[in-house]
Structure formats: C-alpha cells, structure tokens
Structure 1
Amino acid sequence: MNILDIIKTRRNIKKFKKDPIDKSKVMEWLDAATWAPNHKMTEPWEILFLGPETREQINHKTNFGDAPVVFVVISKKGKTEVEREENIAATACFVQNYMLAAWAEGIGTFWSSVAISQRNRDILNISDEYDVIGVISSGFPEEIPEPKPRVAITEKVKELN
C-alpha cells in the first residue's frame, strides 16, 4: 500500500480481535513515530503502557474495544505557552505517525481522550507538567467501518494576495 492509500483507508477501530500483537512491532511503529516534526527537537512525547489492572481502574465503558495493546501518550508542557502548543502539535503528529505505521501492517487503532479527566490522570500518576494527548488502543480490527464523507479541500483553501 502506498502512503496515500494508507492515509485514506485508516479508520478508527472500536472493536478489536483478541489476537496479540508482537510488542517488538509496536515498538517499531513507536520508533517510526519519533520522526514526527517537532520544534527544536524537543521530542516532548512519552508513552505509558496500560496493563490489565490499570485498564480496569480506568473503567473505560468498552474496555478499549478489547484491544490487546493500550497506551497513553503524554506531552511535556514546556516552559512557555508557545512551547506547550508546539509540543502538543508535535505529539499529535507522533500519534498520527504511529497510527499510520500500524495501519500499514493491518493493525487498527483508536484515539480516545478518556485519560484527560483528573480522576484518570491521578490513576495514571500523570503530573501537571504533562498534557494528556490521548489513549491509543491497537489491535487487529474486528470490523473496519466505512469511510465518513469529508468536506472537499477546495472549500477549505483560501489564497491570500
């Protein structure tokens, strides 16, 4: 699959097969994700893998679609508001890179904001020095949803003189 096909066919997967994923593959995709653009090479992302006990404590309504791999992505806040915004953007690029690398090998993902709540930040022991970017569930898709329509890019583009 070429990169345009990977981008256009990736979907949010809400239900996963129980089949395990080789942890070395997950680490390979995370390593590829580190090539995301990031201002001044801050590499602000950190990963927290969630085991069964932590997943149970968070009490996600669908148990993350029964995904075999679930992790939280956090981002260092930075010293200024501008640096914080740059770090959040860079970490979002990191997440997208991971999701595309996984999808290229048949692994679906779902990006959730469940860890943003103070209750879940406390369970995960995430200090105020970090922003929670999301929880990423990964696994072989139980089903792949149809694509949702997109607004034509021509309606989003403006040319300035």
Structure 2
Amino acid sequence: MSIASIIRERRSIKKGYKPDPVPEELVLELLNDAVYAPNHGLREPWRFLFVSSEKKADFIERMMPAFAADQQEKRRGLFSEPSAFLIVIMNEDPRQKQWEEDFCATSALIQNFQLLAWEKDLGVVWKTNPHNLDPKARQILGVQPGEKIVGFLHLGFFDRAEAPQAAPRTPAEQKFSRFE
C-alpha cells in the first residue's frame, strides 16, 4: 500500500472497537517508528503514558473525580469505548519558537502513529478534550508543570469494512496562491 493510499484511507475510529486487548508491544513498535517525525534539534519533546486494556477499568475510575458529578456517567461511557489509551505529553519550552516547533513535532509524531496503526488495523482517534487541561486530570495522570497533554489517543482494533467513509476534502487548488 502506498503512503498516499494510507493517508487517504486512514480514518479516526471513534467507536465499534473489537474487544481484543491492545498489546503494549504493538504500541511500542508503532511508537519506535513514529518517533522519526521531524523535530528541530532532535529535542524529542514527547513522552507517553499507556493505559493498557487490563488497566482501563482502574484508569476510568481514577479519572472520574476530574469530572463534575453530572458528567461522570457520560465520561465513563466514552472512556469505556476504546480498548486502551495512549496519552501523548510534551515538554513546554518557555521560548515561543521552540514551543511551537515542539508542538508541531509532537503532532507529526501522532500523525505518524495513526498512519502506522491504520496499517495494522488498530483504530485510533486523537482527542483534545477539556480534561487535557484540567489540573485534577493532570495530577491523576502525573503530568508535571511545564508539560502539555497534546492528546488522548483512543485505541482499539476494528473491522476495516465498518470504517467510516471519507469526508470530502477541499482541493488544494482552492486554497493555493502564488507569491507574486
């Protein structure tokens, strides 16, 4: 399969995960390729917190106090969908240029991970929900001052035949201009 095909075919898999556990070894294999994302000065500003399928129930219960009481059942349901989670955390450099370079590099790493996972029929959706910024959630997850949660990656195997259809994309020509 060509890179262009994988880019065009990849979808965010938000539900319909199979009950199969996501092996830590597979996540590490994908990450070891994903870390080849371009990153200025090879700062490698990222770290990863993996919530295995076996630890998911404990994770959900520990996360519940981060949500208002009237939101906990909804959040419990949403967290119960995927088989596992990969939380991507980056160092926040106080210098704006470096912060932006690091955020872009971490985002490129996440995209690499999603493409690599697609090839293995591992569904991924990249979530940037408000709890990523919540001090209670950050404490539960061990996120330190000077670190940013770039995303919760929801993981689970899926049936490719049931993957969502592609949404139309605007042709690049419609957003393209030339410097004159």
Question: Which TM-score applies when normalising by structure 2?
Answer: 0.82
Note the aligned Cα RMSD (angstroms): 1.6
Equivalent position of 2:8 in the other structure: 8
Alignment of structure 1 residues 1-161 onto 2, 5 Å: 1-15=1-15, 16-50=17-51, 51-52=55-56, 53-59=58-64, 60-64=75-79, 66-114=81-129, 115-118=131-134, 119-141=136-158, 143-161=162-180
Give the Å deviation of 1:63: 3.6
- 1:65 CA drift (Å): 5.6
Q: For residue 10 of structure 2, what is the amino acid of its counterpart?
A: R
CA contact (8 A) 1:14 1:65 kept: no
Q: How many positions carry a matched residue from both structures?
A: 161
The structure with the greater share of residues assigned to helix is 2
Unaligned runs of at least 5 residues, structure 2: 65-74
Cα distance in 2, alignment partners of residues 89 and 158 from structure 1: 23
Could you state the TM-score of these two structures normalised by the residue count of structure 1? 0.91
Q: Percent identity?
A: 32
Q: Deviations over 1:80-99 (max 9, x none)?
A: 11111111100000000011
How far apart in 1 are the matches of 2:140 and 2:24? Answer: 24
Assess, with a 3 A threshold, how the Cα gap between structure 1 residues 65 and 8 changes in structure 2: closer, same or farther.
Answer: farther
